[in-house]
Amino acid sequence: MAQQTPRTELDARYGEPRATATEWGRAVALLTEAELFWLTTVRPEGRPHVTPLLAVWSDGALYFSTGARERKARNLAQNPEVVLTTGTNALHGGCDLVVEGRAVRVTDDARLTALATAWEEKYGADWHFDVRDGAFAGERGNVAYVFEVAPRTAFGFGKAPYSQTRWEFG
């Protein structure tokens, strides 16, 4: 996926007078560096489901994996709309990020191999995956589906000074 330049807007209603919009390049750096994300999916009956997971930023999108039988995968089979959140969990300082988009399963073995390398480079040898039959293959025969989330809308919540930036794609 090619990197898009989003339309950027500072929402002055939710920030301090001296706040400025966070540049998308800064948000990308934070998404790349973040170790933990929170994924929100929707259960078939409409209730939300939130869970922490690892994710990798690559070529303009976030990628995450989940076991084929896990709640996340079952939710995504019914509704691919997701939100990924990461940040500092601090009141003062840093920037929290929210990425909204559609989770699309990645099945191309060449792309999965590149993503498996990215996972191991970011998280270490404990997160080594082989690629088999359009999925990550882990120890003990576990299979994990990989999903791509290209941002449709993203938000940055700065906390020094307080600000809210909205990025629109497409």
Domains of the chain: 7-168 (2.30.110.10)
Spatial CB neighbours of 73, under 8 Å, sequence gap ≥ 6: 66, 67, 145
Q: What is the mean pLDDT of residues 69-80?
A: 97
Q: Which residue has the tokens 């929402």?
A: 11
* Section 35-56 average pLDDT: 97
Identify the residue with better confidence: 51 or 89.
51
Q: What's the CA gap between 37 and 39, in Å, rounded? A: 6
Give pTM, 2 decimals: 0.95
Q: Does position 28 have pLDDT exceeding 60, yes or no?
A: yes
Q: Do residues 43 and 75 make contact, with C-beta atoms less than 8 angstroms apart?
A: yes
Average pLDDT, integer, range 86-113: 96
Lookup: tokens for 39: 């994924």
Q: Is the model's pLDDT at 161 over the cut of 90?
A: yes
pLDDT category at 4 given cuts 50, 70, 90 is confident
Q: Is the pLDDT confidence value at 115 over 60? A: yes
Cis peptide leading into residue 44 (ω within 30°): no
Query: Which of 20, 99, 116, 112 is CA-nearest to residue 62?
Result: 99
Q: What is the mean pLDDT of the chain?
A: 95
State the pLDDT at residue 3: 58
Q: Percentage of the chain with pLDDT > 70?
A: 98
Q: Which amino acid is residue 46, in one-letter code?
A: G
Q: 170 pLDDT band (50/70/90 cuts)? A: confident
pLDDT digits (tens, 9 = 90+) for 132-153: 999 999 777 789 999 999 999 9
H-helix segments, the chain: 24-33, 71-78, 109-123
